[in-house]
Amino acid sequence: MYAFLTLATIIVTAFFLHRASTDQANALRISAIESVSQEVLKLGRWFADNPHLRVALALPEATDTADGEAAAVVYADFFDHVLFQEDVYNQVYMKAWRSYFEDRLRMYPQIGKFIKAHRSWYGPKLNALVP
């Protein structure tokens, strides 16, 4: 009888622990998505308020520009932040983000220039996007 009660207690406890960890993982995922969404809105607003930064980012890598470097570090940090949390997002979501990052790296050479000059600051996933 005691063995049955012990087994039942273990099973019920395991169920609740599993449910709690699943709920916690979902909360973490939602928090990460909200965080990234807020950063995207801030980044968009920043560029809307400072259109000259977008122009500076589009300059060729051979061009040195303080505005381009300032904007590039913001983009690079944002990219690295999202890629660091890749395991939190589902693959469809991450595929869209990677596509966005690759497009931005093509559109704005100053971002790639900055990352290349500061590879040790960033994780392997971001470094892999910039040959």
Q: Is residue 52 part of a domain?
A: yes
Q: Is residue 55 part of a domain?
A: yes
Q: What is the pTM of this model?
A: 0.75
Q: How many CA atoms lie within 13 A of 60 on its CB side?
A: 2
Q: Is residue 75 part of a domain?
A: yes
Q: Is residue 46 part of a domain?
A: yes
Cβ-proximal residues to 55 (8 Å cutoff; 6+ apart), any chain: none
- What is the average pLDDT across 28-43? 75
Q: Is residue 15 part of a domain?
A: no
pLDDT tens profile 90-110: 788 889 889 999 999 999 999
Range of the domain at 38: 30-129
Q: Are 109 and 61 in contact (CB under 8 A)?
A: yes
Q: How far apart are CA 86 and CA 96, in angstroms?
A: 12
Q: Are 72 and 114 in contact (CB under 8 A)?
A: yes
DSSP state of 59: S
Handedness of CA 49, 62, 105, 108 (dihedral sign): positive
pLDDT tens profile 42-78: 888 888 999 999 999 999 999 999 999 999 999 999 9
Q: How far apart are CA 105 and CA 96, in angstroms?
A: 14
- Count of structural domains within the chain: 1
